[in-house]
Amino acid sequence: MDNFDIPATAAPRTWEVGALCRAVGDALAARFNPVAVRGELSGFSRAASGHCYFNLKDVNGQIRCAMFKRAAQSLGFAPRDGELVEVVGKLGVYEQRGDLQLIVEDMRRAGQGALFEQFLRLKAQLDAEGLFDAARKRPLPLMPRGIGIVTSLGAAALHDVVTALRRRVPQLPVVLVPALVQGGQAAPSMVEALQKLYRLAEAQIALDAGLTDEAPAAAIDAILLVRGGGSLEDLWAFNDEQLARTIAQSPVPLISGVGHETDFTIADFCADLRAPTPTAAAELVCQPRDVWLGALDLVQERLDDAVERHIDRQLQRLDMAARQIARPSGLVHRQQQGLDRSAQRLQAAVQSQLHGQDKRVQHLASTFPKSVSRSLERQQQRVEQLGARLELLNPRQVLSRGYALLTGMDGQVIHSVTQATPGKAMHAELADGSVDVVATQRLLV
């Protein structure tokens, strides 16, 4: 570095270039910011990032300006070269070039200052009251049953909205309540129109909640407040305080589609959703019918698959149950075998008893007088009669006389004609075999 002939006590500080730029920027910020500037737009451009770059100039000078995307999105008009504007921002230094630069945070057309300031004051007031809070914004209904529209009958916006709705959801009912959208009476007219739709919506809400049985003339699940573009003065009715508060009181989601994409009004901030254009508002409020039809087809396919899977599972369970349950004839056969064994045991017991009695009689006959023998003979005859009667009780003997043992297919013995209803299948056990029978007629004795 060259040596300068300057006294040591007065030697200036040596700066790095970047540090000097930052220091100058800090000094400008402390001295001027925030700053308001009036000038003519020159070289205005909007980058792909959304940032805007331009110069502000007058006959005595110019200054480079930048307006970042966040601020540019709130512009209420489309800036053009040669237009006289008033901006509010912060001075600084763009360190990469060492240029003086104004970072613009607000811009308005010159001559509209009073209206713009009124707009900013009302916006700040309502924002402080919470009317713009994101927490109070409601999502749009997924499938509205009906849509309310507030706009002018002669507005081009009405044609655009109706065309979009007919194209996307021709089946949905639409309730139009006309209102003025420009001029001194526009705001009260829109307030009145919105309140008419609110009454319909509230009646439907009460019906859905079971608070009333009276259905409204139309079900309103969403409301569109729309108007085409225009100047700040043309759209001024949408910056009315009473209209803003009425919008915030809507019982159903409300979409504001006012002006063009660059137009912003107080109504936009109060609405549940801001659409950049009236057509966009109509497109946002409902999905196309084809989307729902496709979704229904998908749901139908899934339901069909689920039903088929359920039927398959039930058929598998039925097959397993059929394999586990024996045939009713097998149950009857087992019970018949038990009956035969019981008959055999009964017959053996009777024979054993008779044999014992016979021996006892023979023994008494040899030891007692004849009179006693005759008595014993009578007793023996009686015993033989009892044996014969016992033999008659043998089930096989009963069956041999033409009788049958009748049971249900479940093996239960049929005791009464009341158990044999017409059409009932039964099993009949005969002396020499068995047959399956079906009752055709029931006769009571």
The band of 63, judged by pLDDT with boundaries at 50, 70 and 90, is confident
Question: pLDDT of 411-431, one tens digit each?
Answer: 888 888 888 788 888 888 887
Model pLDDT, residue 350: 73
156-162: Cβ within 8 A, 24+ apart: 156/228, 157/226, 157/227, 157/228, 157/257, 157/278, 158/226, 158/278, 160/277, 160/278, 160/279, 160/282, 161/224, 161/226, 161/257, 161/278, 161/279, 161/281, 161/282, 162/282
Distance CA 218, CA 88 (A): 48
Q: In 3-state terms, what secondary structure has residue 124?
A: helix
Pick the more confident residue, 355 or 291.
355
Pick the more confident residue, 372 or 60.
60
Model pLDDT, residue 2: 46
Question: Residue 194 falls within a domain, yes or no?
Answer: yes
Question: Residue 200 falls within a domain, yes or no?
Answer: yes
Q: How far is CA 369 from the centre of its chain?
A: 108
Model pLDDT, residue 392: 63
Determine phi and psi for 359, rounding to 5 degrees: -60, -40
Q: Is the pLDDT of residue 370 over 90?
A: no
Question: pLDDT of 214-251, one tens digit each?
Answer: 989 889 999 999 999 887 778 899 999 999 999 999 99
Average pLDDT over residues 78-107: 82
Q: How many domains does the chain have?
A: 3
Give the domain extent around 405. Answer: 328-438
Are residues 380 and 428 located together in one domain of the fold? yes
Model pLDDT, residue 3: 47
Model pLDDT, residue 268: 95
Question: Residue 294 falls within a domain, yes or no?
Answer: no
CATH of the domain at 74: 2.40.50.140
Question: Residue 245 falls within a domain, yes or no?
Answer: yes
The band of 394, judged by pLDDT with boundaries at 50, 70 and 90, is low
Are residues 107 and 149 located together in one domain of the fold? no
Are residues 156 and 235 located together in one domain of the fold? yes
Question: pLDDT of 126-162, one tens digit each?
Answer: 999 999 999 999 999 988 999 999 999 988 899 999 9
Strands (E), 228-266: 254-258
Are residues 147 and 261 located together in one domain of the fold? yes
- Residues 267 and 225 sit within 8 Å (Cβ to Cβ): yes
Are residues 369 and 422 located together in one domain of the fold? yes
The band of 289, judged by pLDDT with boundaries at 50, 70 and 90, is low
Stretch (H or E) spanning 294: helix 289-324
Average pLDDT over residues 180-194: 95
Average pLDDT over residues 302-321: 79
Are residues 259 and 363 located together in one domain of the fold? no
- Residues 191 and 246 sit within 8 Å (Cβ to Cβ): yes
Location of structure tokens 């607000």: 106
Question: Residue 373 falls within a domain, yes or no?
Answer: yes
The band of 332, judged by pLDDT with boundaries at 50, 70 and 90, is low
Helix, strand, coil tally for the chain in percent (to 5): 45, 20, 35
Pick the more confident residue, 183 or 419.
183
Q: How far is CA 85 from the centre of its chain?
A: 50
Are residues 105 and 29 located together in one domain of the fold? yes
- Residues 175 and 218 sit within 8 Å (Cβ to Cβ): yes
237: nearest Cα among 192, 158, 178, 181: 181
266: nearest Cα among 74, 434, 78: 74
Other Cβ atoms closer than 10 A to 267? 25
Model pLDDT, residue 230: 80
Q: Is the pLDDT of residue 113 over 60?
A: no
Question: Residue 443 falls within a domain, yes or no?
Answer: no
Model pLDDT, residue 178: 96
Model pLDDT, residue 140: 92
Are residues 179 and 254 located together in one domain of the fold? yes
Are residues 345 and 393 located together in one domain of the fold? yes
Helix axes 113-128, 241-248, angle to 10 degrees: 30
Are residues 148 and 274 located together in one domain of the fold? yes
The average confidence (pLDDT) of the chain is 82
Question: Residue 354 falls within a domain, yes or no?
Answer: yes
Which range in 9-23, 261-275, 360-374, 389-403 is most confidently predicted, on average pLDDT?
261-275
Question: Residue 444 falls within a domain, yes or no?
Answer: no
Are residues 106 and 165 located together in one domain of the fold? no
Contacts of 52 (CB under 8 A, 6+ apart): 44, 45, 46, 66, 67, 68, 72, 79, 104
270: nearest Cα among 136, 118, 117: 136
Model pLDDT, residue 256: 96
CATH of the domain at 172: 3.40.50.280
Quick check: pTM over 0.75? no
Out of 237, 267, 287, a domain closes at: 287
Model pLDDT, residue 4: 45
Are residues 209 and 94 located together in one domain of the fold? no
